[in-house]
Amino acid sequence: KVDEIDFRRSANEEDLLGLLLLRTVLITDMDIAKENISTSWVLLPGSLAMLYGANKPVLTTLRLCPKLCFHKHCLKRFMLPRGPASKAIFMNDLNTTMRVWSIEGRAVAKNSMQTYSNDNGNGCFFGFDFVDGRGGEIRVSCFNEIAEKFYGTIENEQTYTISNGRIGKEKEKFNNLNNTLEIFLSAASIVRPLHVDDQIIPLHHFHFVPIKDIPGRPAGSFVDILGVVLVISPRSTIRRRDQTETFKRTVQVEDMSGFSVSITLWGQHSTVLGEELEEFLSIPQKPVLALKTARISSFNGTSLDTISTTKWFVNPMIPESLPLQEWIASDAFNVLAPSITNRVLGPPSALSSPATIAQVLQMGNTDKNEWATIIAKITDISLDNFYYLACPLVKNGTQCRKKVQELENGS
């Protein structure tokens, strides 16, 4: 406990100034406290301090600059926010230099609480996507005691006002939103429920990409697409590397750009979404499908995969869906549209310029990759056997599969 601390005035007005009376200071770590009444600064060896100015106590806590330079501008940089900003801003206006801010939005894609273990110890974390009324979106992450504090507060599809927290660069490995920033909630963060109409802050925002433009994007990135489901494959079981099993099925989707793409539905997407699409196609009716956050794959050409956070909407009631519905009913709809799958990733321009067979035969004389689209008629189908007799022996769990010939004695 300390009754009084005297800091001498420095000749440099930018340094710490002032004489303040302190009553009952808890000595723990090194904090900085600032009196609201004047411009004086005081350095305390305590986490909480009651400062008296104009006979009015002011309770506040600030963090100390780790360099211990005590420069006023440096001290301001490490101030803890005292409360939320007076006015909310849009997510696209956030930047990494902000310390006090407020945003309003809707929480979507909330993850379950997860644990981690590293050299620094054990901990827990969770995150969610936050979208506002202008189509802005940002990832919000919480760790350890902050995660435990806010996990029960945040609910999917509910609206909130979030204030304060660290704004940093997003980690592309864990963030699939159209934003280079990410929010990390802290002890200074405030989360309050917000009552607002769904039309002001919609449940979901889409950034649809035409299928013909997908090959120009890097593999592993994410897109939102809107198209017509042409066909869906039966559900199959796949064994993962860890020997666990999951389900998959493939759908072919076409949009008004005149191209189609193969989309692999994994896990619950293959069962729930797959069965819903099967019902429409059995009527028969070709449903409109909107996918948010589908991952681009370069395997076997350009295709898409669903991930755990992929959202789907069948015949969605959104403005972009209406022209697509009219297009399906028109003569312009082509169920045999060329697919961007089963081809090497290439520039979109190559997909929109059909070539002749003679032109293709002249390709391949340079070191550069070349792409082409061919529209032709099939003149001959090979009748050769599509199978052969294989050795049935199994060694180390793997069948031999070498080609064999059956002898006259049947062996």
Q: Please state the rounded mean pLDDT for residues 130-143.
A: 91
Identify the band that residue 8 occupies on the pLDDT scale cut at 50, 70 and 90: very low
215 part of a folded domain? yes
Does 365 fall in a domain? no
* Same domain assignment for residues 307 and 222: yes
Categorize the per-residue pLDDT at 86 as very low, low, confident or very high, splitting at 50, 70 and 90: low
Judge whether 244 lies within some domain: yes
What is the reported pLDDT for 87? 81
322 shares its domain with 230? yes
Task: Calculate mean pLDDT across residues 313-318.
Answer: 90
What pLDDT band is residue 74 in, cutting at 50, 70 and 90?
very low
pLDDT > 90? residue 354: no
Average of per-residue pLDDT across 173-191: 85
**Any idea what the CATH number is for the domain that residue 189 is in?**
2.40.50.140
> Is 136 a domain residue?
yes
The rounded mean pLDDT for the chain is 76
Residue 388 confidence (pLDDT) above 70 = yes
The verdict on 105 and 180 lying in the same domain is yes
Which is more confidently placed, 259 or 8? 259
Tell me how far the alpha carbon of residue 121 is from its chain's centroid: 27
The residue out of 22, 55, 77 marking a domain boundary is: 77
Q: In the structure, what pLDDT confidence band is assigned to residue 241 with cuts at 50, 70 and 90?
A: confident
Predicted model pTM: 0.56
**Where a domain ends, among 329, 348, 380?**
329
Could you tell me the residue range of the domain that residue 215 belongs to? 211-329
Is 29 domain-assigned?
yes
Of 10-14, 223-227, 282-286, give the range with the top mean pLDDT: 223-227
The pLDDT value given to residue 122: 92
Which of the listed residues 193, 224, 247 is the one where a domain comes to its end? 193
Q: Are residues 324 and 219 part of one domain? A: yes
